[in-house]
Amino acid sequence: DIKGFVFDLDGVITDTSIFHSQAWHQVADKVGAPWSKELEDGLKGISRMDSLEMILKAGNLQDKYTDDQKVDLATEKNTNYLKLVDQMTPDNILPGIKAFLDEIKNGGYLLSLASASKNAPKVLQKLNLTDYFPKIVDPKTLSKGKPDPEIYLKGAELIDLKPEQCIGVEDAAAGVESINAAGETSIGIGDQTILKAADIHFADTSEMTLANIEKQMN
Ligand code: G6P
Ligand code: MG
């Protein structure tokens, strides 16, 4: 039986995935790496330094920068990202999410957050959602990022549940892969062509309700 939900943040709870893309696009332009829809989708769920490596690789530039220069590029991206985050309000919560969080909280389900973002606590604060997530996986403690199962396993562990008692909620292909490898039930939200591996699919966050989840469970 399902007893808890492990949530991704960016692109699921709020549309910060657009802000991440915007800030990375600037970096890609700066270093002269080509930007594409595939790269943009592929970056979703990927840690800050791994994202930079993917961008540099797309331009065959991975050996052009020293480690220090890479840290500078990633820091610049984060500064630009945080400027966008600073302007956020609870209006940036995606449609239906607040209602769904209330529905599962009132239904007695446990909740944790499995975001690769070091900025997750800050984003939750801007959205006034901190109280919903007393348990947050600290990405600094991870040895491997998504698609490795580690982050979703920790998300279940934090709420004292077995993976099979949890549903993981994601917008990224790497995230769905991580949930599936952890042995949890996966919900993929967004473009079905890139979320084929998800057990349950919703085109949009507004479709996510317990009743609609049950309809897709077997
Ligand atoms: C999430 C986002 C990624 C982002 C990563 C790290 O997984 O989907 O786009 O790169 O977090 O975020 P951070 O805020 O730590 O740079
Ligand atoms: Mg995401």
DSSP structure class, residue 172: S
Averaged pLDDT, 31-42: 97
pLDDT at 165 over 90: yes
Structure tokens at 169: 């909620």
pLDDT tens-digit profile of 88-104? 999 999 999 999 999 99
Q: For 103-116, write each residue's pLDDT tens digit.
A: 999 999 999 999 99
What distance in Å separates the CA atoms of residue 135 and residue 157, rounded to the nearest whole number?
Answer: 10
One-letter amino acid for residue 55 of the chain: I
- Assign 36 a pLDDT band (cuts: 50, 70, 90): very high
Which residues, chain by chain, have CB under 5 Å from ion ligand 2?
8, 10-11, 171-172
- pLDDT digits over 41-72, tens only? 999 999 999 999 999 999 999 999 999 999 99
Please tell me the predicted confidence (pLDDT) of residue 218: 72
Q: What is the pLDDT of residues 114-150, one digit of tens each?
A: 999 999 999 999 999 999 999 999 999 999 999 999 9
Ligand nearest to the CA of 13: 2
3-state secondary structure of 217: coil
Sheet containing 110-113: order of strands: 110-113, 4-7, 166-170, 185-189, 200-202
ipTM value of the model?
A: 0.99
**Which of the ligands is closest to the CA of residue 54?**
1
Could you tell me if 170 and 198 are in contact, meaning their C-beta atoms sit under 8 angstroms apart?
yes
How remote is the CA of residue 7 from the centroid of ligand 2, in Å? Answer: 9
Of 94, 101, 147, 146, give the one whose Cα is nearest residue 123. Answer: 94
Span from the CA of 145 to the centroid of ligand 2 (angstroms): 13
SS3 27: helix
Long-range contacts at 138-146 (CB < 8 A, ≥ 24 apart): 139/47, 139/115, 142/116, 145/45, 145/46, 145/47, 145/50, 145/116, 145/174, 146/45, 146/46, 146/116, 146/172, 146/174, 146/175, 146/177, 146/178
Cβ–Cβ < 8 Å for 28, 78: no
Q: What is the pLDDT of residue 100?
A: 98
